[in-house]
Structure 1
Amino acid sequence: MPFANFKIPEAALSRAQKEEIVHRTTAMLVEYFSEAARPHTMVLIEEVKDGGYARADEVFVIPENYRAKE
């Protein structure tokens, strides 16, 4: 079973954008593994709360202008 896991900042993507990621990721994996993989492909999009991720001691908070407009 192909499995893809995306971790994104909370509220960074709209529902439509997440659906597009699911469809495009599934299509890509089907290209590699054949159409037989489609019903078994899992795409997980996890939203990480502001302040829940960091790099090199810098804790990230998503700026308001980067938040998805539903």
Structure 2
Amino acid sequence: MPFANFKMPQAALSRAQKEELVHRTTDLLVDYFGEAVRPYTMVLIEEVPDGGYGRADEVFVVPEAYRARDGA
């Protein structure tokens, strides 16, 4: 069973963008492994809350201007 796990900042993607990511990732894995894996392919998008991730001692927060808007 192919499994893809994306970790994204909370509110970085709209619902439509998440759906597209699931569909495109599934298609990618089907292209690689064959059509038989489609019903068994799992795509998980985990949203990490602001302040819950960082790099090199810097804690990240998504600026309001970059937050996704559903329906956008």
Structure 1 segments, 4+ long, off by >6 Å, are none
Q: How many residue pairs were aligned?
A: 70
SS at match of 1:69: coil
Q: Which letter maps to 1:20?
A: E
Structure 2 gap ranges (5+): none
**1:24-39 mapped onto 2 (5 Å cutoff):** 24-39=24-39
Q: What is the aligned partner in structure 2 of residue 19 from structure 1?
A: 19
Q: What is the aligned partner in structure 2 of residue 62 from structure 1?
A: 62
Shift of 1:20: 0.2
1:53 paired with 2:53, answer: yes
CA RMSD of aligned residues (A): 0.3
Structure 1 gap ranges (5+): none
What is the alpha-carbon distance in structure 2 between the residues aligned to residue 69 and residue 40 of structure 1? 30
Shift of 1:11: 0.6
1:42 paired with 2:42, answer: yes
The TM-score normalised by the length of structure 2 is 0.96
What is the alpha-carbon distance in structure 2 between the residues aligned to residue 66 and residue 43 of structure 1? 24
1:6 paired with 2:6, answer: yes
Q: Which letter maps to 1:27?
A: D
The TM-score normalised by the length of structure 1 is 0.99
